[in-house]
Amino acid sequence: MADAATTVLNSRVPEGPMAEKWDRCKKEMKLVNPANKRKKKIIVVGTGLAGASAAASLAELGYQVQSFCFQDSPRRAHSIAAQGGINAAKNYPNDGDSVWRLFYDTVKGGDFRSREANVHRLAQVSNNIIDQCAAQGVPFARDYGGTLANRSFGGAQVSRTFYARGQTGQQLLLGAYSALMRQVGAGRIQLFPRREMLDLVKVDGVARGIIVRNLITGEFEKYSADCVLLCTGGYGNAFYLSTNAKGANVTAAWRCHKRGAFFANPCYTQIHPTCIPVSGDYQSKLTLMSESLRNDGRVWVPQTAGDQRRGNEIPDSERDYYLERRYPAFGNLVPRDVASRAAKERCDAGYGVGSTGQAVFLDFRDAIARDGRHAIEAKYGNLFHMYHKITGEDPYQVPMRIYPAVHYTMGGLWVDYHLQSTIPGLFVLGEANFSDHGANRLGASALMQGLADGYFVAPYTTGHYLGSQNLPSVSTDDEAFTEAMANAQDRNAKILGVQGTRSSDSIHRELGHILWEYCGMSRERQGLETAMGKISDLRDEFWSSIKVIGQGEQLNQNLEHAGRLADFLEFGELMVRDALVREESCGGHFREEHQSPENEALRDDENFCHVTAWEFTGVGNEPVEHREHLEFVEVPLATRSYK
């Protein structure tokens, strides 16, 4: 197996010193001349930060681009929900930051489970992203002298996070969207909203197109191209309750997996420590409170278990600022996985607050007294307003109540250094790939990766691919397109034909409970084995009991949700299997059998310093495990400590 994996998983990382790898890669790439670019067609699926920036950049270069999203407008991509900021190594505060320091923090934050070369490239191009976005008019916060302002995020001891109050993702997406729509107006991008990708089309083993369903009419459509860029986000909604938009799903990536794209590290799920707690059994999603709040907010619980007093009624002498106590070097700005596990430990021990006991306090009393209410409003006003609207509590007067929730996913389709999957011609960008964050993403690095991939990596690597291939013209009348369309139509027809008694929501909620209970913030062998059986049974239940009203040839959101749920049920089993075979704790993957005496994650570098990439062999069949060995030269393997 090791030999086979070595042959297949060629990461194509260039030789030479780390700081020179990306420049060397670009120097050795083939180019496509401007006249030939106009003859090349590229499909980009997704219009979030990765998709919008990639489509705009490729069209600006002269390629014909077709852009697809299932929303009614590219502006509604889930990237708008990102709140706190975007990292870059500008070192404006002059506090010791550098490209190397950003690289180091990201490798360490990912618990030494990411590919060093990809992370270093990310740090290298980070400064270009800020210049690009500022030139587009993104309204970054500025300090008194007019320089772009920075704030701190977890896992770093420098201030490198650029922000636009608590709506950074929205502002960055508007910048990318404006660039996208400029190219739509110029005729170089064809925009296809309200389309959902349901299959990838391979011709002679190479990605050459996609099958989509028009969500308004229900019609199936086929589109061909010279290559496909997948920018469809993560799979956090497998848990049902998450901070993701309700429409976010795994379908496009999963259908590519079933066509031969390996899925890497699916068990790596990030639990964000700063979310509004669950309030009821029938809540449909959770709301994120930006990690940036931990710059000024202090996290604590009462010193007495079961204390039900309101937060502002508990004096300092009876408070446990447990992050500051446990991690004095980083305090409230420890990485997300560390903060989340610490909150869970306190709540499990009986110190949680609120009616459920599943919450801790995030308190701004001291910051307001120190800096004044106006300064806090300027930094976080929209976040405080959102919290007040949702909970009915004014965080200027009483502490926020927060609890960890599913947020980002570090796993994704396996890609090499060029962002190409194991299917030639299929490139995967942003959260949909596995490459940059290892087992735990540092805050403000998601936006950085999406824009780095779209603006500064994919335009080079896809151009190299197109310049290196002699791709014959392919028509959508080709047999491969006919087969793929029939496959997608048959699956929808099968779902519609069950006519059982259970709704998608009821089954999805049950799946989410299984995943959260057994494969959530902590995992252990017996629970994971239990989850495998429960998910398999629930998948059978879906195909015998799902009820979808309406027809396929019309707007039918019940059918959309059911199709995505069917993929989550298949994917969920792979997520659990991946967690089961990784007999170590690292980052967001915490196996209870593998922890230090201080309850910290205990890695096993001798046996698990690798990427696990799974090959699909059929629904219900055991997938084939492949491995990419990870080497750490610039940042030597070490026990991660924030104390």
Q: Which residues are catalytic?
A: 336
Which residue bears the tokens 């060093």? 116
Of 49, 51, 47, nearest to 73 (Cα)? 47
Which residue bears the tokens 């055991």? 622
Residue 523: strand, helix, or coil: strand
Of 27, 40, 39, 34, nearest to 61 (Cα)? 34
Of 229, 233, 257, 263, nearest to 454 (Cα)? 229
Question: What beta strand segments (E) does 266-316 contain?
Answer: 269-275, 298-302
Beta-strand pair 412-413/220-224:
unpaired
Give how far the C-alpha of residue 631 lies from the chain's centroid of Cα atoms, to the nearest Å: 24
Which residue(s) pair with 212 in the sheet?
197, 221
Q: For residue 116, what are the contacts with CB-CB under 8 A and spacing of at least 6?
A: 18, 107, 630, 631, 632, 633, 634, 635
The tokens describing 107, both together, are 């490798």
Which residue bears the tokens 């609207």? 389
Q: CB-side exposure of 35: number of CA atoms within 13 Å?
A: 0
The tokens describing 460, both together, are 């080079």
Q: How many C-beta atoms surround the C-beta of residue 258 within 10 A?
A: 17
For the chain, what is the largest distance between any 2 Cα atoms, rounded to a whole number of angstroms? 74
The tokens describing 364, both together, are 């701004």
Residue 1: strand, helix, or coil: coil
Residue by residue, what is the 3-state secondary structure of 164-210? CCCCHHHHHHHHHHHHHHHHHHHCCEEEECCEEEEEEEEECCEEEEE
Rounded distance between C-alpha atoms, residue 175 and residue 134, angstroms = 9
Which residue bears the tokens 């429960």? 534
Rounded distance between C-alpha atoms, residue 31 and residue 40, angstroms = 13
> In this structure, is the dihedral angle defined by the CA atoms of residues 339, 342, 347 and 352, taken in order, positive or negative?
negative
Rounded distance between C-alpha atoms, residue 272 and residue 534, angstroms = 26
Of 510, 505, 487, 511, nearest to 547 (Cα)? 505
**Cα dihedral 522→528→532→535 (10° resolution):** -30
